[in-house]
Amino acid sequence: MSSKLDALGVEIDSAAESKNVSALTALMEKCDSMIESGYPHLRPIALFYKANIYSSLAALKSHDPEYAWSWHQSEKILEILNLRKAVSDPKFPSLDSIIQCKVYTNLGNSLNQFGRFIEAIKAWDYALYLMPNFAMALGNKGVGLTDYAHALYDYGHAGILVAHAVDELKGAISNDALWDSGLHPEAEKSFRKKCLSAEKYLERIEYSVDFDLNQWPVGDNRKEVEYRTWCLDNNLFLSPLNDVTKLSASAKDVLHLPSHTYNLDEEARFPNYFNIMKQEYVTARFMLFESLDYYSEHASDINVLLMDGFDGAQFNYRVEQLKVAFRLAYSIFDKVALFLNDYYRVGLKISAVSFRKIWVQRKSKNFEINSCFAGSQNWPLRGLYYLSKDLFDDDFDDVALPEAKDLAALRNRIEHRYLSLQTYEAPVKNTDIHSYISIDEFHLKTIKIMSMAREALVYLSLAMHREEEIRNIDNEKVSIPIQSLPIERFYE
């Protein structure tokens, strides 16, 4: 069977090289047959090949200069979806490490192209965890980090990201680098050029490689240290630095809005919007952390009479904290949409705004990108748009995350139905009214939603920065300096 897989791979490469669309389409059917063949070990490879076909079909359109910034790239979305399906397949860990690295690297590259640079870094890091010298992951991560740095308005942070990019790029062009099928001269040349450019940038800003990123305490007491270390380990701080390091320099939620402008008769409202979303995020994050101790008794649990349903369900304060953390983090997406509706003057009624619907307007039976977004060459804004495709909505059938529908269903059950979290499996059935999920699985899904909410806030801030650069600032507007004055917390 491996010979058939090898032959299929060769056919796909040949069809892509000859730009034969009909052959690629026919080979797609072969991939589908393998996926549905009943041989589980074939499924992740077939999904990888299918993703490669979609990538090749997208490449055939890339000669059009407008395609690179097109908001409709269904082939790339399907490429990402199939790569993610391959990664989540139970048989994926049994694949050869080289194949796994190629899947993760391709996933990172496509996500980065769409402005999902935070998620892209995670994909490249998975590849580098498997093979620390995998050249294409090192090089593409280095390029992605320089792009990320370019999108920042905090030039101190930008320098740190570029320094990390140089390390990755040097690794990609070193003698120890592993190329999956021999040296790729064009890629190596590109990485070398990018490395040289990044080094010159660091020289220009007089960046000190000896600067200690771990010189600050993480916390003042044991619980604070545990909490902030957990945030660092899960990349949950609202700081771009936490995407490249887990040292104490990144253990601060410093992200806010960039300098931006208003008409003289406008209220300076956007920092207030961002304050609310940011506080809700950090509150949900701390609730998630506290919920990890879900076997411990809380004061509110004492003398509360509950009946044992013999269904494995756990009931206590920490379990409810976990549910609330999921719900609160998920609610941030629609608030981001409200921000966009106001900032870009989209014009949707407040009741009609959602993170999936903000981008489009219905024309006849189809959806078209709203004119205020169409044609925009704003990379972080593009990231927000494609992040929205990781969320399920009944009105849309294009999702890029295999578990999107499950995540949306969980939110609905928490809000409107009954959801029990189990500490052990029990012979119970899910119904339309009452559903069960293991507490460990739900915890992982909450981490996923929390990470996506963080992404949304980072992309929103950087999209605003890019938009302010693009807009023609006229003299009748007043500039609001970054962050204005920090709020004086009651404990300071």
Across the range 146-169, mean pLDDT stands at 97
The pTM score is 0.94
The rounded distance, in Å, linking the Cα atoms of 440 and 312 is: 13
Q: What is the C-alpha separation between 239 and 345, in angstroms, rounded? A: 28
Report the pLDDT value the prediction gives residue 491, as an integer from 0 to 100.
45
Hey, what CATH topology would domain 2-204 get?
A: 1.25.40
- Residue type (1 letter), 69: W
Q: What is the CA radius of gyration of the chain?
A: 24
> In 3-state terms, the chain is what percent helix, strand and coil (to 5)?
60, 5, 35
pLDDT per residue over 421-476, tens digit each? 999 989 899 999 999 999 999 999 999 999 999 999 999 999 999 999 988 654 55
CA neighbor of 393 nearest in space, from 435, 465, 472, 330: 330
- Four-CA torsion 387, 453, 344, 72, nearest 10 degrees: 0
List C-alpha distances in Å: 147 to 66, 112, 158, 191, 325.
20, 9, 10, 13, 32
Per-residue pLDDT band for 295 (boundaries 50, 70, 90) equals confident
Q: Which residues, other chains included, contact 76 with Cβ-Cβ below 8 Å and sequence gap of 6+?
A: 54, 55, 58, 110, 113, 114
Q: CA 198: distance to chain centroid?
A: 25
The H helix count followed by the E strand count for the chain is: 15, 6
Task: Taking the CA atoms of 479, 355, 234 and 207 in sequence, report the sign of the dihedral they define.
Answer: negative
Cβ neighbours for 466, distance < 8 A, ≥ 6 positions apart? 151, 378, 379, 380, 381
Instruction: Name the pLDDT band for 483 (thresholds 50, 70, 90).
Output: very low
Examine the pLDDT at 400 and tell me if it is beyond 70.
yes
Quick one: pLDDT band at residue 175, thresholds 50, 70, 90?
very high
Predicted confidence (pLDDT) at residue 482 exceeds the cutoff of 50: no
CA 72 to mean position of chain CA atoms: 19
pLDDT, residue 479, reads 56
CB-side neighbour CA atoms (13 Å) of 24: 22
Write down the mean pLDDT value for the chain.
91
> Does residue 374 come out as left (phi exceeding 0), alpha (psi in the -120 to 50 range) or beta?
beta
- The string of DSSP codes covering 175-191 is TTPBPBTB--HHHHHHH
Q: Count other C-beta atoms under 10 Å from residue 290's C-beta.
A: 18
**DSSP annotation string for 338-383:** HHHHHHTT----GGG--TTTTTEEEETTEEEE-TTTTT---HHHHH
Calculate mean pLDDT across residues 135-147: 98
pLDDT at 66 over 90: no
* Closest C-alpha among 11, 2, 79 to residue 45: 2
Mean pLDDT of the region 232-240: 98
In angstroms, the CA 292 to CA 446 distance is 11
Q: Residue 309 — left, alpha, or beta (φ > 0 → left; ψ -120 to 50 → alpha)?
A: alpha
Distances (CA, A) of 144 to 120, 148, 261, 366, 379: 8, 6, 29, 34, 12
Residue ranges, CATH 1.25.40.10, the chain: 2-204
Least confident window among 70-74, 205-209, 382-386, 483-487: 483-487
Tell me: the pLDDT tens digits for 377-397?
899 999 999 999 999 877 766
Mean pLDDT, residues 259-286 taken together? 94
**Amino acid identity, residue 278?**
K
Distance, in Å, from the CA atom of 446 to the CA atom of 403, rounded to the nearest integer, reads 12
Quick check: 76 and 61 in contact, CB under 8 A? no
Q: 27 with 8: CB under 8 angstroms?
A: yes
Give the percent of the chain with pLDDT over 90: 72
- Residue whose entry in the numeric block shows the structure tokens 């012979």: 427
Between CA 32 and CA 58 the distance in angstroms is 19
Q: What is the mean pLDDT of residues 162-168?
A: 98
- Percent pLDDT > 70 in the chain is 94
Contacts of 444 (CB under 8 A, 6+ apart): none
| Cα–Cα distance measured from residue 108 to residue 95, given in angstroms and rounded to the nearest whole number | 19
Q: Report which of 301, 325, 289, 428 is spatially closest to residue 420, judged by C-alpha positions.
A: 428
pLDDT of 339 reads 98
Say which DSSP state 69 is in.
Answer: T
Helix, coil or strand: residue 430:
coil
pLDDT reading at 62 higher than 90 = no
